[in-house]
A and B are shown apart, each in its own frame.
Chain A
Amino acid sequence: MARLKPLDIYNYLPKTNCGECGLESCMAFAYKLIEHELEVKDCKPLATDPKLKKAFEDLKELVTPPVRPVKFGGDGNEVTIGGEEVMYRHELTYFNPTAIAVCVHDEMTEEELIRNVKLISEWTVFRVGAHLCLDAVAVKSVSRDPVKFAKAVKLVADNTKYPLILCSLDPSCLKAGVEAVKNRRPLLYAATRDNWREVAEIALNSGCPVVVASPGDLDTLKSLAATLSSVGIQVALDPGTAWGEGVLADTIDSFTMLRRAAIERGDKNVGWPLVGVPATLWIGKEEASEGEKLETAFKETFLAAALICRYADLLIINSKELWTFLALTTLRQNIYTDPRIHPAVEAGLFAVGSPNEDSPVMITTNYASTAFVVRSDLEQSKIDAWLVIIDTGGIGVESSAAGGQLNAAKMAEALSEYKVAEKVRHRAVIIPGLAARFAGELEDASGWDVYVGPKDSGSIPDFLKSKYRPRDGLRYVGDPDGKSSVVLVTNNIKDFYRVKMPLRNAGISAWILVVDADGLPVSEAVKEKKLTGETVKALMQREDVEKKVDHRELVVPEEAATLKEEIEKATGWKVTVVPCEKLAEKLKK
């Protein structure tokens, strides 16, 4: 089916640019209509002027997608299923994410019902800029007792705002259920070859949409849809969901065939949302052990995932496992992401929190998800940092590191282009663990010290706490020789650069003896006895310092002044105490 263009729609509109829809022009309205963001009835003149009635009806017909959208739920808590235009997401986009409904039933105790309903409606996880949630509660009539069912439905409704699905093959139960929640406009499950007339009557009386179900028999399914929709009932189609040899393929085939018939063959009788019921896996599991139930939930999750990929517009599941919810809502978020939106975010230097001149500098790529996750991880842990986002064409770290869109030259270029050095008084850059291989090359190309961060940005807080430290040992600045001074410092990132930067900026070459003090700054390391005459002596021996320099003078920052004699005694070297801010001046002499 050819995609509608705004001009196709514009011709039906009043062309007055009246602005009643909230948009500037009728053309803008046409765009919104194509994107399913507005409905035809949102054009007030078209919807109300009797003279435009024909244009109104014709336009409604024109913009109706081959898979019609069906809404259920009331009180402003509606969910829309269906409304799809394409078979494959890359052809355009999928519009209405698969709604996920979770089951409860009327033989649960009140306490059980309330607990489960709250679990379902309160579950949420925040990821990649969105709150992932479930969408509906399906109430099953296990008792087949209309009174009991109505009571359970009422209790569920009182404890959730989510739309409801009333599930029973017994029309008297459905009727009682609908009456208990009249203004909620629940979805009814299900009309079958056996009960369709009574269910159709309930649907017509209440205005509720209906799932027509006919496992394994698509002729009947289509007949049911044709019959119910002929009197204006909105339907959704359940062709049967089965897990097992032969029958699983029927399920996958049915979903594929129905969707293709609707979209590519224009078969209006099957142009309705598709309903998958992975909850069928729980048939006969009433007495199952805890282990078997978990295994059933595992299979159910997997089957539900298959149907998210293959056209289900609504899924009814029974598992209440958190990992089921997490996996299915994540998959749905992926599949229903609009592929027309480029996944790249702007490259550049960004402040996360309120960074200052000592804050860490971190590199990541401009793939939207990656950049977003890194940012939100930092924000959630209240870390102030400078984030350098590299243009990798919207590809994530691992893939771009492998594919060449991320490399040392690009990172070095970004550090200089974004003038990161002007923001900080250190030269430490943290690169993603998945780009570790570029560390050496980047140091050479940029002159920055490279620290390899974790592979997952969730571990950045741990990394900053315990791993973001200069390597201990005899380090250097510039190109020192035997006559160059030796300056002592601990492996605290801030103190290290307090020593290194003034020398670097003044173009002085010197040796820096870095003592491992678990990352403590010099002043605390002295207090905690991590920096002592003995630790200095041991490190000097380990690093063969006496072979590298001809003199025997150690420059010590002011904070370690109290150790002067102790170090002199242990090493036999002369100790000169110098405040960091006077270091350059002193060493120049």
Chain B
Amino acid sequence: MKRGTLMVDDETALGKRILEILGEYEEVELENVTLEAEELVFKVIPGMFAAALPPAARARIPAALIEQKFEPPVETYPGEIVEVQFGATRAEGGSRKKVVKIGGEKAPAFYRFEFMNPNRPVVTFDVFDMPISLPKPIVEHFEDVMEDPADWAKKAINEFGADLVTVHLISTDPYIKNTPAKEAAKVIEDVLQAVDTPILIGGSGNPDKDPEVLEAAAAVSEGERLMLNSASLNLDWKRIVEAAKKHGHNVLSWTQLDVNNQKKLNKLIMEAGMPRSRIVQDATTAALGYGLEYSFSIYERIRLSALRGDADLQMPLSSGTTNAWGAREAFMSDKKKGTEWGLQRFRGPIWEAITALSLSLVGCDVFMMLHPASVQIFKTFVEYLSSPRKEEVPPLLNWVTARV
């Protein structure tokens, strides 16, 4: 680097001279200079100063890194999420070999730097009590078992790693098959025989028939600590809560994208005598591309309020993630949309997987899902996030030279 020393003999020429020097040298030091002036005006000639900037700039870069320490911004929360158990062992009055626990969080989801939450989010596969029309990528995996809910449940658990299954008794809908409640309840017995994990029980969504159907199903699975899906404000939820209380089950408190309604229903269910440790809440899952942002923010608000101490919202959260398959991006075939949207083999599962992923990041605990590939990547994600810190950091910057 060249160095120059500026000797000033003519004050008026100072500005000009500095610029000349800057153009010539990379660094300028002023020695023994006294400036006597009321106001110094530097007249900058366009172009000249720009040409002069780089060397001057280089001088400004510190010689060494300004070392800093990053303080992890850790917080504590006054509230915590209630732990809920699905399934009861023989000792607990049921017949399940496995039980599944959710909830118990003391920090927001996957804030491992604050607290490693005790239970991971779990996946429950949807099983239906009659063959129904499902998108092709799902049917491919289940067509051999769709006639038999017990086989369907077994396959979901043994082959695809389901933590739980939800048996939807949709044939009970008066507009579908109108299967009598007692007959539908037998399906629950069959599935309980076939698998040793806990199960969840869904109705058909018909508000007039569901209370009766869930009552019958609750009665045949006395003491198994299953979950009845669901108590909601548009039906006689009290009957469902009573059935859960009487036969030792959990209950799902389901509302539609409204924090206040969720709080209200949770409160009503608790006032009806249901213990907090047997309630799970579902604020409704809108699919990726179809209002996911509402679910995302509502789940996030519920969870943050709970951790900040709102006892009416401290139940674990559940998501009907399979709604993602109602999105045309998920169900439309390659023949129709492949050239525009890419392969359905990936497009469908990623739609469901991202719907689950986004809600898991804001605190959801239970995910009702359908496709083995979406379940697999989601479960891997959860496992990776729930594992302890590794000292060794992989050489991540090598991505720059990866020849792909």
A415-460 interface with B by 8 A CB criterion? 434, 436-437, 455-456, 458
Q: A248-B384, A335-B296 are in contact. Are A286 and B70 (CB under 8 A)?
A: no
Give how many A residues have a beta carbon under 8 Å from the other chain's beta carbons: 115
Q: B396 near A: Cβ within 8 Å? A: yes
- Across the interface, which residues of A come within 8 angstroms of B394, CB to CB? 215, 242, 244, 247, 283
Instruction: Give the Cβ gap from A368 to chain B, nearest Cβ, in Å.
Output: 9
- Across the interface, which residues of A come within 8 angstroms of B332, CB to CB? 458
| Option from B297, B346, B385 in Cβ contact (under 8 Å) with A321 | B346
- Across the interface, which residues of A come within 8 angstroms of B71, CB to CB? 261, 265, 267
Q: A221-B70, A246-B388, A309-B358 are in contact. Are A107 and B403 (CB under 8 A)?
A: yes
Give CA–CA (A325, B289) in the complex, Å: 13
- Across the interface, which residues of A come within 8 angstroms of B61, CB to CB? 197, 200-201, 204, 231
- On whether the beta carbons of B67 and A306 are closer than 8 Å, the reply is no
| Option from A204, A226, A230, A405 in Cβ contact (under 8 Å) with B54 | A204
Q: A247-B393, A261-B73 are in contact. Are A331 and B329 (CB under 8 A)?
A: no
- Across the interface, which residues of A come within 8 angstroms of B343, CB to CB? 294, 321, 323
Q: What 1/0 mask marks residues of chain A from 305 to 321 whose CB sits below 8 Å from any chain B CB?
A: 11001100000001001
Q: B206 near A: Cβ within 8 Å? A: yes
B363-404 interface with A by 8 A CB criterion? 373, 377, 381, 383-390, 393-404
Instruction: Give the Cβ gap from B53 to chain A, nearest Cβ, in Å.
Output: 8
Q: B47 near A: Cβ within 8 Å? A: no
Q: Which of A22-30, A139-147, A509-517, A569-577 contacts B (4 or more CB under 8 A)?
A: A139-147
- On whether the beta carbons of A286 and B257 are closer than 8 Å, the reply is no
Give CA–CA (A437, B175) in the complex, Å: 8
B104-135 interface with A by 8 A CB criterion? 110-113
Q: A201-B61, A398-B323 are in contact. Are A260 and B400 (CB under 8 A)?
A: no
Instruction: Give the Cβ gap from B373 to chain A, nearest Cβ, in Å.
Output: 8
- Across the interface, which residues of A come within 8 angstroms of B78, CB to CB? none
- On whether the beta carbons of A169 and B288 are closer than 8 Å, the reply is no
- On whether the beta carbons of A218 and B404 are closer than 8 Å, the reply is no
Instruction: Give the Cβ gap from A406 to chain B, nearest Cβ, in Å.
Output: 11
- Across the interface, which residues of A come within 8 angstroms of B353, CB to CB? 302
User: Which DSSP category, helix, strand, loop or mixed, fits chain A's interface?
Assistant: helix
Q: Interface residues of B toward A: which range?
A: 35 or more
Instruction: Give the Cβ gap from B146 to chain A, nearest Cβ, in Å.
Output: 20
- Across the interface, which residues of A come within 8 angstroms of B234, CB to CB? 402-404
Nearest A-chain residue to B175, judged by Cβ: A437
Give CA–CA (A167, B399) in the complex, Å: 10
Instruction: Give the Cβ gap from B352 to chain A, nearest Cβ, in Å.
Output: 11
Q: Which of A186-194, A345-353, A477-485 contacts B (4 or more CB under 8 A)?
A: A186-194
- Across the interface, which residues of B come within 8 angstroms of A323, CB to CB? 341-343, 346-347, 350
Give CA–CA (A217, B396) in the complex, Å: 12
- On whether the beta carbons of A330 and B289 are closer than 8 Å, the reply is yes
Instruction: Give the Cβ gap from A113 to chain B, nearest Cβ, in Å.
Output: 14
Q: B23 near A: Cβ within 8 Å? A: no
Q: A64 near B: Cβ within 8 Å? A: no
Q: A90 near B: Cβ within 8 Å? A: yes
- On whether the beta carbons of B350 and A298 are closer than 8 Å, the reply is yes
Q: A491 near B: Cβ within 8 Å? A: no
Q: B177 near A: Cβ within 8 Å? A: no
Give CA–CA (A386, B297) in the complex, Å: 34
Q: B57 near A: Cβ within 8 Å? A: yes
Instruction: Give the Cβ gap from A530 to chain B, nearest Cβ, in Å.
Output: 29
Instruction: Give the Cβ gap from A198 to chain B, nearest Cβ, in Å.
Output: 10
| Option from A190, A302, A325 in Cβ contact (under 8 Å) with B381 | A302
- On whether the beta carbons of B291 and A343 are closer than 8 Å, the reply is yes
- On whether the beta carbons of B294 and A343 are closer than 8 Å, the reply is yes
Nearest A-chain residue to B393, judged by Cβ: A216
Q: A334 near B: Cβ within 8 Å? A: yes
Q: A172 near B: Cβ within 8 Å? A: no
Q: A243-B384, A252-B385, A261-B73 are in contact. Are A369 and B291 (CB under 8 A)?
A: yes
- Across the interface, which residues of B come within 8 angstroms of A369, CB to CB? 290-291
Binding site for B on A (CB under 8 A): 88-90, 103, 105, 107, 125, 127-128, 140-142, 144, 167-169, 189-190, 192-193, 196-197, 200-201, 204-205, 213, 215-224, 226-227, 230-231, 240-250, 252-253, 256-257, 260-261, 264-265, 267, 269-270, 277, 279-280, 282-286, 293-294, 297-299, 301-302, 305-306, 309-310, 318, 321-327, 330-331, 333-335, 337, 339, 343, 367, 369, 395-396, 398-400, 402-405, 434, 436-437, 455-456, 458
Top 6 nearest A-B pairs by Cβ distance? A322-B342, A323-B342, A403-B256, A216-B393, A246-B390, A248-B384
Question: 11 new A-B pairs (CB below 8 Å) besides A140-B399, A231-B61, A339-B297?
Answer: A89-B296, A142-B401, A201-B58, A205-B54, A215-B396, A222-B70, A231-B60, A257-B73, A309-B296, A339-B293, A343-B291
